[in-house]
Amino acid sequence: MTDSKATLIAQDIAEKIRHKQFKVGSFLPSENQLTKLYGTSRETVRKALEQLNSLGMIQKIQGKGSMVLDLGRYSFPISGIESFAELNKSLGMNAETKVLNLTKTKMLPGLFAEKFPQEKQNEGIYLERLRLLANEPAVLDCDFLFTPPIAELPLSAAQNSIYQYLENDLGLEVSYATKTITVEKATENLRRKLALENDMVVLVASRSFLSDTTPFQLTLSFHNPAKFKFVDFARRQNIKPQ
CATH number of domain containing 140: 3.40.1410.10
Q: What is the pLDDT of residue 20?
A: 86
Domain shared by 112 and 50, yes or no:
no
Residues 132 and 33 in one domain: no
The backbone region for 148, taken as left when phi is positive above 0, alpha when psi lies in -120 to 50, beta otherwise, is: beta
| Residue 68 backbone zone (phi > 0: left; psi -120 to 50: alpha; other: beta) | beta
Kindly report whether the global pTM for this prediction surpasses the value 0.75: no
Band of the pLDDT at 73, cuts 50, 70, 90?
very low
Q: Could you tell me the residue range of the domain that residue 94 belongs to?
A: 84-227
Same domain flag for 170 and 113: yes
CA 11, distance to chain mean position in Å, is 15
Residue 215 is assigned to a structural domain of this protein: yes
Please compute the mean of the pLDDT values over residues 61-73 and round it to a whole number: 79
Same domain, 152 and 42: no
Domain count, the chain: 2
pLDDT at 74 over 50: no
Residue 192 has pLDDT above 50, yes or no: yes
Instruction: Calculate mean pLDDT across residues 95-124.
Output: 90
Mean pLDDT value of segment 211-230: 86
Asked whether residue 44 falls in the same domain as residue 108, the answer is no
Greater model confidence, 53 or 80 = 53
233 — pLDDT class (breaks 50, 70, 90)? low
- Indicate whether 77 belongs to any domain: no
pLDDT at 1 over 50: no
Q: Once rounded to an integer, what is the mean pLDDT over residues 23-29?
A: 92
Classify the C-alpha dihedral 98-155-176-238 as positive or negative.
Answer: positive
Residues, the chain = 242
Q: Is residue 14 a part of any domain in this protein? A: yes
Lowest average pLDDT, out of 6-15, 49-58, 105-114, 137-146, goes to 49-58
User: Is residue 165 in a domain?
Assistant: yes
State the pLDDT confidence band at 69, using cuts at 50, 70 and 90.
confident
Which CATH number belongs to the domain containing residue 27 in this structure? 1.10.10.10
Can you give the pLDDT at residue 54?
Answer: 77
Burial class (CB in 10 A: 0-12, 13-18, 19+), 76: buried
Is 136 inside a domain boundary?
A: yes
Residues 94 and 207 both lie in one domain: yes
Lowest mean pLDDT among 43-57, 72-86, 88-102: 72-86
- Judge if 136 and 168 occupy the same domain: yes
Report whether pLDDT(219) > 90.
yes
The pLDDT assigned to 56 comes to 74
Structure confidence at residue 170 as a pLDDT band (50, 70, 90): very high
Same domain for 59 and 113? no
Residues 58 and 29 in one domain: yes
| Average pLDDT of the segment spanning 103-112 | 91
Residue 235 in any domain: the answer is no
